[in-house]
Amino acid sequence: MRNVDFSPLYRSTVGFDRLFNLLDTVGQPEQAPSYPPYNIERTGENDYRISMAVAGFSEDELSIEAHANVLTVKGEKADQDDEEGREYLYRGIAKRAFERRFQLADHMEVRGATLKNGLLHVELLRNIPEAMKPRRIEIESRSGDTARTISADTRKAGEMTPA
């Protein structure tokens, strides 16, 4: 089977198009990780936010790294020795380590991250350099050409012109 490289298409998106992620995973036998769950929001024209549900993790157990258009969020629980005498009847709160990677488009930069009420919010900004932004080019007339002026007669019917 042929492998198709979709990485050039990521640059034309904002970096979060799930269609390309799905196409990348087609044909791969392993299941894509689903932990921790996350949201991606557009909060402004050039502002984005990734929100991840990381209940039970503290700030020192999480690390965020941005390198070469890839944002990596890792979480690793510290070993707790005080759980020796505990017996869980049901354990629904995950304590497993995770690593989640996000493909970022060109000119995306991480502005900051906050952890509040079990949600990790990573703020992103698309900062296109001035040289890369579209600019308007004025069209100049060549010398020797006379400029054409279009005028309209604004006098009302029946109005006399001064002589």
In the chain, what are the domain boundaries? 7-79+88-132
DSSP 60: G
Q: What is the pTM of this model?
A: 0.58
Q: How far apart are CA 28 and CA 143, in angstroms?
A: 65
Identify whether the C-beta of residue 107 lies closer than 8 Å to the C-beta of residue 127: yes
Q: pLDDT 10s per residue in the chain (163 long)?
A: 556 666 665 555 555 555 556 566 565 555 556 788 899 999 888 899 999 998 888 888 899 998 888 899 999 987 665 567 788 888 777 678 889 988 888 888 889 999 999 899 999 998 877 777 788 888 888 776 555 656 665 555 555 555 5
DSSP secondary-structure letter at 116?
Answer: E
Around Cβ 46, how many Cβ atoms within 10 Å?
14
Pairwise CA distance, residues 23 & 141, whole Å = 50
**Residue 101 forms beta bridges with which residues?**
72
User: How far, in Å, CA of 14 to CA of 135, rounded?
Assistant: 21
Question: Which residue in 60, 66, 152 sits closest to 112, CA to CA?
Answer: 66
- Output the pLDDT for position 95: 74
Give the pLDDT confidence score for residue 115 in this predicted structure: 92
CATH of domain 7-79+88-132: 2.60.40.790
